Amino acid sequence: MIEQSNLLDNKQMALFVAKGYLRFDEVIPDDINHAVMAEIDRGIKASPAGTPLSACYPDPSPIGKMLRLPLVAGLIQSLVGPDPLFDHQAVHVRQPNEDSAQPLHADSIIDTRTAFDIQLMYFPHDVPANMGGTLLLPGSQYRRVNESDIARYQNMLGQVQMVCKAGTLLVLHHGIWHCGRQNKTNEKRYMFKVRLNPVVRQLRLWNTDNLVSDVGASKPIFTKETNAIEDVQTILARSEPWFEDASGRLEIVNRVKMWRYISGDDRFDVHYWMTRLENTP
Amino acid sequence: MMNKLRQKILVLYLSNSALDSTVKGWAVYDGTGREAHTTGDTNIAPYKTGLLALQDGWRAIQFPQLIPPYPGHELDTSFLKYEFIFEKIEEQHD
Ligand SMILES: [Fe+2]
């Protein structure tokens, strides 16, 4: 049983819906980080795709220990619900002194669902800037693209170059654009990734205390008041630096649709974008 | 001795269909081999707008067409819409 306090809260969920990822710095203890590095060197056995996560990584697996930490179990439960399915794992190794980065891509193949998978990316050792951590493009997760069709996009305003300390965790929406950056050091870089599929409808799985006040009521739009309070609407209304003028508005609509899906509130809106279109008296 | 001419390509992704709008994304491919660019190698755009690239001597060789959305997909987002391609012809010294 997962304690309510270990679940994500409303604003963390809104950030995930807006940006397509959440980041938790230095949350995995060092003994697990070291044990995972050793486990990677020995080879981590993967379960068949579609195995319940609870049946994967049995004790004393250090990856299992990491996944069963209350914070990690809580964020998994908040996003994909109880006992999701193990899809696949990958130990990404970036070789020293590479010539180029991995091309920008979204994982798997083009995915038209509203239901979403998550991917955990776990960095068991420090990743300095020249080691080329994962590159993420916040807010790209709802764009319908097929894998590396986007490889041509070398750099985008607002891209996030992962630079972190050991024990840092990312949790990603399956659609987010990303790649492994070029490793310019003499050391190998490791990153452990696991993809999980929900087995329940993703409806209010997080800690929804104070949901009504955190979501907020309809507001005056195009005014100073519109985004004055850091509530769910404000978080979902915030543009990413790479958003184009017009399509950027459609990204806010994509977020509204996702918030409606996970909250069950079919009238939820941000900046009146959808309500106006839904009015056909 | 003849110098070889090579094409250098700059791709700018702008914020709307106007060439003088803001750069949101970019890529560079250098046929002379002097520069090597790859994904995520810089957070700093080469130009603030497409027009500034022209003023710096880049020749625009492709403008993005404006294509109406497919019926039923008006709200969908996918690739970046405003991809402008530029070239410079440079000498390759060897
Ligand atoms: Fe990937």
Q: Quick one: closest CA in A to B25, which residue? A: A156
Domain-located, residue A205: no
**What is the structure's pLDDT at B94?**
65
One domain, residues A178 and A119: yes
| B46 CA distance to ligand 1 middle (Å) | 27
Nearest alpha-carbon partner for A87 in A192, A197, A171, A172: A197
Domain count, chain B: 1
Domain shared by A115 and A66, yes or no: yes
Domain co-membership, A141 together with A92: yes
Residue B28: domain span: 3-93
Q: pLDDT tens digit string along A246-256?
A: 999 999 999 99
Asked if the structure places residue A213 within a domain, the reply is no
Same domain, A131 and A181: yes
The answer to whether the CB atoms of A143 and B24 lie below 8 A apart is: no
**Whether residues A182 and A257 fall in one domain:** no
Q: Are residues A184 and A53 in the same domain?
A: yes
| ipTM exceeds 0.90, yes or no | yes
CATH number at A128 reads 2.60.120.620
CA B42 – CA B37 distance, rounded (Å): 9
Answer whether B40 touches A (CB < 8 Å). yes
A29 and A116 together in one domain:
yes
- Domain co-membership, A158 together with A37: yes
Query: Does residue A202 lie in a domain region?
Result: no
Coil, helix or strand at residue A81? coil
Mean pLDDT across B32-47: 95
Domain count across chain A = 2
CA of A136 relative to ligand 1 center, distance in Å: 10
**Planar angle of CA A157, A161, A165, nearest 5 degrees:** 150
Please report residues of A whose CB lies closer than 8 A to that of B81. 244, 247
- Chain B within 8 Å of A253 (Cβ-Cβ)? yes
Indicate whether A247 and A177 sit together in one domain: no
Same domain assignment for residues A86 and A186: yes
Which pLDDT tens digit goes with each residue over A29-85? 999 999 999 999 899 999 999 999 999 999 999 999 999 999 999 999 999 999 999
Cα of A178 vs centre of ligand 1, distance in Å, is 6
In a domain, A163, yes or no: yes
Residue A206 domain-assigned (yes or no): no
Assess if residue A257 is contained within a domain: yes
CA dist A71 to A3, A36, A66, A220, Å?
A: 10, 18, 9, 37
Name B8's bridge partners: B30, B88
- Identify residues whose C-beta is under 5 A from ligand 1, the ion: A 107
Contact between residue A119 and residue A73 where contact means Cβ atoms under 8 Å apart: no
If asked whether residues A180 and A257 sit together in one domain, one would say no
Q: At CB < 8 A and 24+ separation, what contacts does A51-58 make?
A: A51/A85, A51/A86, A52/A83, A52/A84, A52/A85, A52/A86, A52/A199, A53/A83, A53/A84, A53/A85, A53/A86, A53/A196, A54/A83, A56/A86
What integer pLDDT is reported at residue B2 of this predicted model?
62
Q: Do the domain assignments include residue A212?
A: no
How far is the centre of ligand 1, averaged over its atoms, from the C-alpha of A163 (Å)? 17
Residues A177 and A259 in one domain: no
pLDDT above 70 covers a percentage of chain A that reads 100
Contacts of A91 (CB under 8 A, 6+ apart): A40, A44, A190, A191, A192, A193
Is the residue at A210 inside a domain?
Answer: no
Domain with A178 in it: 4-197
Q: Would you call A63 helix, strand, or coil by DSSP?
A: helix
Amino acid in position A165: K
H helices present in A20-69, as ranges: 30-42, 62-67
